[in-house]
């Protein structure tokens, strides 16, 4: 059995000896997260827009995505594995389904929170509903959408660590290999980069979210149009 007295130098030495393998696991981890989140954005944002247009669609869509969100991640992946088989595809589909709720809901909430005065100003200069969506409502809701993406990214990075249980790759392979061999160094070599990745994603997306909010404040007057000219007798 491995000695329990491990030092930081032992950890760095292990990382140095296995850097190629760990880098491969790291890139696999990021790839699965990016693809799963990308699919969720491509589908979730339009679903959020649809929710903002139709209250019945909102009830149905948010109900379904809520159910997907509360299903335990391992149970979700096992169910998908029965359908899609072992491999990274199962993991990425699971991440996509898990990420739908925060992205769809935050898109919907963001569009609903746009100040009515901006919409009235847009209508006053002759914007169509589609133009209002693209040029006014969507830009003003970006901070909410980024908030949903931020939540989904942190969740996804954590969920991917159990990918090896359904034949996936990523840093979870090192964690489970360490658990199976009672090797603390391997556990740390998988868990620490995954934790750091989640923290970095949260910080970076948080900065982007705040920058988008600031840019909206600076450009707020750009969507304010002059009042309609009054009719003269």
Q: Which residue has the tokens 């707020």?
A: 220
3-state secondary structure string across the chain: CCCCCCCHHHHHHHHHHCHHHHHHHHHHHHHHHHHHHHHHHHHHHHHHHHHHHCHHHHHHHHHHHHHHHHCCHHHHHHHHHHHHCCCHHHHHHHHHHHHHHHHHHHHHHHHHCCCHHHHHHHHHCCCCHHHHHHHHHHHHCHHHHHHHHHHHHHHHHHHHHHHHHHCCCCCHHHHHHHHHHCCHHHHHHHHHHHHHHHHHHHHHHHHHHHHHHHHHHHCHHHHCCCCCCCCCC
The CATH code of the domain at 8-220 is 1.10.3720.10
Q: Taking the C-alpha atoms of 59, 61, 65 and 68 in order, what is their torsion angle to the nearest 10 degrees?
A: 100
Q: Return d(Cα 229, Cα 231) in angstroms, integer.
A: 6
CB atoms within 10 A of CB 228: 11
pTM here?
A: 0.84
* Residues 29, 32: Cα–Cα separation, whole Å: 5
CA distance 110 to 108: 5
The values of phi and psi at residue 15, to 5°, are: -60, -45
Q: Which two tokens stand for residue 90?
A: 């199962």
187: left (phi over 0), alpha (psi -120 to 50) or beta: alpha
Domain boundaries, the chain: 8-220
**pLDDT in single tens digits along all 233 residues of the chain:** 444 577 888 888 999 999 999 999 999 999 999 999 999 999 999 999 999 999 999 999 999 999 998 899 889 999 999 999 999 999 999 999 999 999 999 999 999 888 888 788 888 888 888 888 888 888 888 999 999 999 999 999 999 999 999 988 899 999 999 999 889 999 999 999 999 999 999 999 999 888 887 444 544 433 333 333 344 43
What does the pLDDT read at residue 190? 93
């Amino acid at each position: 059995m491995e000695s329990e007295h491990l030092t930081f130098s032992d950890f760095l030495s292990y990382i140095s000896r296995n850097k190629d393998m760990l880098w491969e696991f790291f890139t696999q981890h990021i790839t699965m997260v990016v693809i799963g989140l990308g699919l969720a954005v491509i589908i979730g944002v339009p679903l959020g827009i649809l929710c903002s247009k139709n209250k019945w669609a909102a009830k149905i869509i948010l109900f379904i995505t809520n159910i997907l969100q509360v299903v335990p991640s391992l149970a979700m992946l096992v169910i998908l594995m029965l359908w899609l088989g072992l491999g990274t595809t199962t993991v990425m589909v699971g991440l996509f389904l898990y990420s739908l709720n925060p992205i769809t809901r935050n898109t919907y909430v963001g569009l609903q929170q746009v100040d009515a005065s901006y919409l009235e100003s847009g209508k006053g200069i002759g914007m169509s509903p589609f133009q209002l969506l693209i040029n006014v409502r969507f830009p003003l809701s970006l901070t909410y959408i980024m908030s949903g993406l931020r939540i989904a990214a942190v969740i996804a990075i954590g969920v991917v660590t159990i990918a090896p249980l359904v034949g996936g790759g990523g840093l979870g392979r090192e964690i489970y290999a360490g658990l199976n061999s009672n090797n603390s160094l391997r556990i740390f070599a998988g868990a620490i980069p995954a934790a750091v990745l989640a923290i970095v994603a949260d910080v970076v997306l948080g900065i982007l979210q705040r920058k988008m909010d600031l840019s909206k404040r600076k450009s707020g007057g750009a969507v304010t149009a002059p009042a309609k000219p009054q009719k003269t007798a």
